[in-house]
Amino acid sequence: MTDRTPGATPTAVSGTTPVGTGTGRPVPEPFGARLRRAMDTRGPLCVGIDPHGSLLTAWGLDDDVAGLERFTRTTVEALADRVAVLKPQSAFFERFGSRGVAVLEKAVAEARAAGALVLMDAKRGDIGSTMDAYARTYLAPDSPLFSDAVTVSPYLGFGSLRPALDAAAAAGSGVFVLALTSNPEGAEVQRATAADGRSLAQVMLDHLAAENAGATPLGSAGAVVGATLGDPGADLAINGPLLAPGIGAQGATPADLPRVFGAAVGDVVPSVSRGVLRHGPDVSALREAALRFADEVRTAVAGG
């Protein structure tokens, strides 16, 4: 992070930067470039906004819309002007219906306005017009939930993600495709073998590498690869970001990253949720926890 003073406001990295196209129409700066800059200036860290009931209770809040709003507002206030990425988990807002989604909409707008990149953790996956509708929900600039990136599931076939990939490219946003997730159950699908002998996870990673071919400094099509995996048993060189859940409460530490990700460690976006959020509702404590994780990641990556 660029300024270690708790009250300081580091450089904003969100939004879009017009880039000339020769057609007279500006195009948004790609997500991969914005993410690279965010990680370089604010530190390589993604903090999840996961307002599940036990955390609300731990903060002394009721498990209702008022508690949800207070929790979310405090987290955004504490972190949006200093961490690279904030990752709201859509399900924890959707469980309250339209009022919860309204809280999410406001959080997305305020986090982006403060300079954080917003990664919507929605894990959407479908086909045809339904996938297109999901893409419009999170990746259309005129949507109330417009985000810098969204998580998607490819297990209806990678081609089913084309509406999201195309919408992301047009908006300067990104996608993170589930490849090797941190939950143990994921292995029965992700490590299954395709007809050509590759694991299904490797098939998805190879598709992503093709999507990112030629992109600099970093492609905008990322993969989700758990930091808890040990040996991922896959080629992670996709020229795109690798979202790494599992740091903190799930047992992985920043020191594990070089071992898991090898030469691709510089493109890793470690994701921490409870490890930071459990320090709330004190704003200074949330900031200090995020700073500590970001510094530990920097040290681990530099040593890797």
C-alpha distances in angstroms, 58 versus 46, 52, 96, 218?
22, 10, 19, 38
Report d(CA 79, CA 64) in Å as an integer: 23
Element (H, E) at 275: helix 274-277
Buried b / exposed e over 162-186, threshold 16 CB at 10 Å, is ebbbebbbebbbbbbbbbbbbeeeb
Catalytic pick from 52, 73, 106, 123? Answer: 123
DSSP state, residue 240: S
How long is the chain?
A: 304
Is 123 a known active-site residue?
Answer: yes
3-state class of 182 per DSSP? coil
Count of CB atoms situated within 10 Å of the CB of 210: 13
**Helices 65-79 + 283-303 axis angle, to 10:** 50
Name residue 250's amino acid: Q
For residues 182 and 250, is the Cβ–Cβ distance under 8 A? Answer: yes
Report d(CA 129, CA 179) in Å as an integer: 23
Q: Cα Rg for the chain, rounded, in angstroms?
A: 18
Q: Which of 275, 217, 287, 294 is nearest to 50 (CA)?
A: 275
For residues 237 and 264, is the Cβ–Cβ distance under 8 A? Answer: yes
Q: Give the residue numbers marked as catalytic.
A: 123
